[in-house]
Structure 1
Amino acid sequence: MLESQDLKRLDELFSSMEEANGCFLGYPFAKRFDYEPLWRFMSLTGNNLGDPFEPGTYRVNSHAFECEVIDFFAGLFRAPSCEVWGYITNGGTEGNIYGLYLARELYPNAVAYFSQDTHYSVSKGVRLLGLEHSVVRSQSNGEISYDDLAQTATRARNRPAVVVANIGTTMKEGKDDTRKIRAVLHDVGISAIYVHSDAALCGPYAPLLDPKPAFDFADGADSITLSGHKFLGAPMPCGVVLSHKLHVQRVMRTIDYIGSSDTTLSGSRNAYTPIILWYAIRSLGIKGIKRIFHQCEDLAAYTTNELNARGVSAWRNPNALTVVFPPVEESIKAKWQIATQNVSHLVVTPGTTKHQIDAFIEATTSRGR
């Protein structure tokens, strides 16, 4: 039994997190979801140990639901029938490192290429894996510079290329084109190519856009990762990574202890996030995902227009939920948790309200009047 001061600390932490959730705009994390029917699972132990598609002696898991989530995204990402494998990760960083891991096992002598707008997890991954790498310039909208990719790759045209394509860059939601990436590398004489698509934010809705960005398996991706908490919504970080089975077989190890094989990075994995993601996609379906995206995009357009009307130079990429504007002052950055590099941005994810947007715009533009 906790003492009263400990219970008070929990109450204070809840109040603090609740307040922070109410003014949380700078990072993609869906809000105001309702998973009350799943609370009962928190009274049970759960571990999605090993390969979710293989039976084993360890049965306290949600593998069946995990496999359904993988199958859903395999269809959404136009994966070849029965030729794709995946698992649910603890977030986009694990998915990116897993894609790079598969690429390194396929091409140990490869050079990895990614743009300067790429998420920091990729630079972490290449260091962990000992992959030689080159950072490529970005265009002003955050998309990779295909000309600079060609020039950079030409210097190592005799070696395989591993490219991380951003399907929604961190700050500007710029989207790289996997078809163009492959064409550029072929043109400079590289035929051994592995493309990993980092679709952390955009993965659930990118296939539904018009025009659809070129990023999926039919467009030449070898592996794809997305985050579950950013658009679909979850109380904790989670993600999905998918790859061609042939790539995964190179890292497969049979583990007698669990009576199965393990093809994942983390081994022991969260058994609850697959249930949450299954619940989300079963509740929403394709139509629901599309509907919520359009609601978010309408609010992102409203935000951009209102900021511009008040003299703030704001913009967003086509079909983007990320609104980019000049760096904000520290007090605004701190209160609204606004991500800032050479620019600031906010991300309109599901659960973001017009009231929050209006309060942010008022706070940002009322100073100095």
Structure 2
Amino acid sequence: MHAPNVNENTVVAHPDLPLLRLEKLHANLQRRSEHFLGYQFNSVFDYSALAPFLNMHLNNLGDPYSSACKTVHTREYEREVLAQFAQLWRAKGRHPLTPESYWGYVLSMGATEGTMFALWNARDYLSGKPLLHQTVWSTGDTPEPVIFCSEDTHYSIAKCASVLNMPTFYDLGSRNFPGLCPVTEDGNWPRAVASQDGVVDPKQLAELVDFFVARGHPPIIVLNIGSTFKGAYDDPQAVWPLLLRVFEKHGLSLGEGGGRQDYWIHVDGALGAGYLPYLELAHEKGLTDERGPLFDFRLPYVSSIVTSSHKWFGAPFPGGVYMSKEKFRLRPPSRPDYIGSPDSTFAGSRNGLSPLILWYALNTAPADVQAHAAARCARLADYAHQRLETVVERIPGFWVERSRRSLAVRFTRPRPRVFSRFGLSGEGTGAHIFTMPHVTRAVIDKLVDALTAPNALSLPKPT
């Protein structure tokens, strides 16, 4: 028997090697998780009860409310999750089914998938494509909807717009109306609506919307409920009166009497749409003085909402929930006989584990537990802000900021050693932490100690 031909590039398999590598990876990730402060992820969860489902193929193919598709699925649990989010977001129920009833699905990706779906739906809805129970397309010229979002909006909005071939107001303005921007001195178009401490400027938003509505372009407005870096919350109730004035001025339909509306307001609540309902409950129970702005379906002008499951609730992989209303549902591009269900979601084949994760999270940590967690995180953000303020007092040039009611605290970006140790996220010369449920005062104290250690910061020498 000849020996195998082995050279320096040959990998010799060992039966225990995969397990050894996984053990090493697990230890490394666990160590890093202990000081992980920079992202909107909740690392406190235990889904070991769901471990048997990892050995099954779970495919929530088709519409969540379809009974025809008989794959090995978890759509029953998905519908329960959607019903629970409908309660959280004060949506109208599906029994009886009315135009105002909620419809949605559990995402296979994070909130970006839901925002992509919302923009797609908004584009086709505002362009006059047939609704679910209609067969006639609109006649006449199809208007080109335009997207409005603030400079603190998640970076994925630009990607979604590009994938869907949809213009932002910057794209459309620069292309068709160069030099005519109503909110800049030189007429050049800004890439996004201005924000103040992370919150969209309602007046500038209304001025920009007015310009494009006057030229026949229906507006799609993306509001942030928990922006990416500053963790700030746009206030739909502050935005709406100014937008309403614009809509009425130009005769836009508000959708009253069963007709279509001529605008779309999407709420990107990747973190905040999971957190704020429980902060509101904590406020009602006297657990905290803080509460966020109203953003949900109590506001009749909100068209769609999205949140991520891995952010507030915690999950081992990205997921989330998209929710809108029956009256906005479009006729799916196809109804394949192959699956026996309308292809009414973005992905088609959808991860059946994500609904189980959310179902388990919602049913093992009920609303009262979540309210206490929300109040604790709000207090922890106060604590982090106060502790980091002590660094300002000790080190000239160091700065700290926190947007109102935010779980994010921003500060001078430290050197890579500290930045990496605490899993921080950065933007320019700043860094931030998010006081998520897994964060403790002890870890914040360690961060403060690390920031005040020699050579932790790169600051200009005082003159």
Range into which the TM-score falls when normalised by the shorter chain: over 0.9
Distance 1:253 1:292 in 2: 43
CA distance in 2, matches of 1:339, 1:368: 19
1:316 offset after TM fit, Å?
2.1
In the alignment, does 2:294 pair up with 1:214? Answer: yes
Indicate the structure with greater strand content: 1
Q: Matches of 2:374 and 2:454 in 1, distance apart?
A: 32
Is residue 137 from structure 1 mapped to residue 193 from structure 2 by the alignment?
Answer: yes
CA offsets, 1:314-337, max 9 Å, x none?
Answer: 232333211122222222222222
User: 2:395 aligns to what?
Assistant: none
Q: Which residue of 1 aligns with 2:224?
A: 166
Q: 1:344 matched to which residue of 2?
A: 431
Q: Is the CA contact 2:276–2:291 (under 8 Å) kept in the aligned structure 1?
A: no
1:98 to 107, 111, 117: 117
Q: CA deviation at 1:301?
A: 1.1
- 8 Å Cα contact 1:143-1:176 kept in structure 2: yes
Counterparts of 2:240 and 2:125, CA distance in 1: 17
Post-superposition offset of 1:310:
2.4
Which amino acid in structure 2 is aligned with residue 363 of structure 1? A
In structure 2, which of residues 45, 53, 65 is the aligned counterpart of residue 53 of structure 1? 65
> 2:406 corresponds to which letter in structure 1?
A
1:75 and 1:124 map into 2 onto residues whose CA distance is: 31
- 1:333 and 2:416 equivalent? no
1:226 is matched with which residue?
307
Correspondence for 2:410: 324
- Alpha-carbon distance between aligned partners in 2 of 1:130 and 1:352, rounded to the nearest angstrom: 40
Show the counterpart of 1:176. Answer: 234
2:152 maps to 117
Of 252-261 and 31-40, more deviation after overlay is shown by 252-261
> 1:85: which partner in 2?
103
| Partner Cα distance (2:239, 2:60) in 1 | 35
Q: Residues of 2 paired with 1:284 and 1:32: CA distance?
A: 12
Q: Which moved more, 1:198-207 or 1:335-344?
A: 335-344
What is the identity, as a one-letter code, of the residue corresponding to 1:175?
A: Y
1:193 aligns with 2:263: yes
Q: State the structure with more CA Rg.
A: 2
Cα distance 1:261–1:250, how it changes in 2: closer, same or farther (>3 A)?
closer
* Contact residue 43 and residue 314 of structure 2 kept, 8 A: yes
Note the C-alpha offset of 1:54.
1.0
**Pair 1:153 & 2:209 matched:** yes
Matched, 1:17 2:29: yes
Give the 3-state SS of the residue equivalent to 2:196 in structure 1.
coil
Q: What is the DSSP-based 3-state SS (H/G/I as helix, E as strand, rest coil) of the residue aligned with 1:86?
A: strand
Aligned length: 369
What is the identity, as a one-letter code, of the residue corresponding to 1:330? P
Q: Is the CA contact (8 Å cut-off) linking 1:66 and 1:274 kept in structure 2?
A: yes
Matched, 1:41 2:53: yes
Could you say which residue in structure 1 is the equivalent of 2:138?
A: none
Given candidates 120, 140, 161, the residue that maps to 1:126 is 161
Q: Aligned AA for 2:153?
A: T
- Specify every segment of 5 or more residues in structure 1 that has no aligned partner in the other structure, as ranges: none
Q: Distance in 2 between matches of 1:68 and 1:112?
A: 32
C-alpha distance after superposition, 1:253-304 (max 9, x if no partner):
4221111112111111111111111011111222111111111111111111
AA matched with 1:177: D
The 8 Å contact of residues 105 and 250 in structure 1, kept in 2 or not, is answered as no
Residue identity in the other structure for 1:338: L
Deviation at 1:245, TM superposition (A): 1.5
Letter in 1 for 2:420: A
Q: Percent identity?
A: 32
Amino acid at match of 2:228: T
Which position in structure 2 is the counterpart of 1:62? 74
TM-score relative to the length of structure 1: 0.94
Which segments of 5 or more consecutive residues in structure 2 lack a partner in the other structure?
1-12, 95-100, 128-143, 170-190, 253-261, 281-289, 393-397, 457-463
Q: Aligned partner of 2:369: which letter?
A: G
SS of 1:346's equivalent in the other structure is strand
Matched position secondary structure for 1:7: helix
The aligned residue for residue 284 of structure 1 is 365
Per-residue CA distance 1:27-56 (angstroms, 9 max, x = gap): 111113111211111122211111111112
Maintained 8 Å contact 1:178/1:215: yes
Match of 2:302, as an amino acid? A
Question: How far did residue 3 of structure 1 move?
Answer: 2.6
Please give the secondary structure, in 1, of the residue aligned with 2:399: coil
Q: Is this contact kept in 1: 2:150–2:195, CA < 8 A?
A: no
Query: What does residue 341 of structure 2 align with?
Result: 260
The 8 Å contact of residues 198 and 225 in structure 1, kept in 2 or not, is answered as yes
- Alignment equivalent of 1:238, drawn from 319, 329, 338: 319
CA distance in 1, matches of 2:233, 2:63: 31
Three-state SS of the structure 2 residue aligned to 1:318 is coil
Report the 3-state secondary structure (helix = DSSP H, G, I; strand = E; otherwise coil) of the residue aligned with 1:261: coil
Does the 8 A contact of 1:136 with 1:148 survive in 2?
A: no
RMSD: 1.9
**Displacement, 1:252?**
6.2
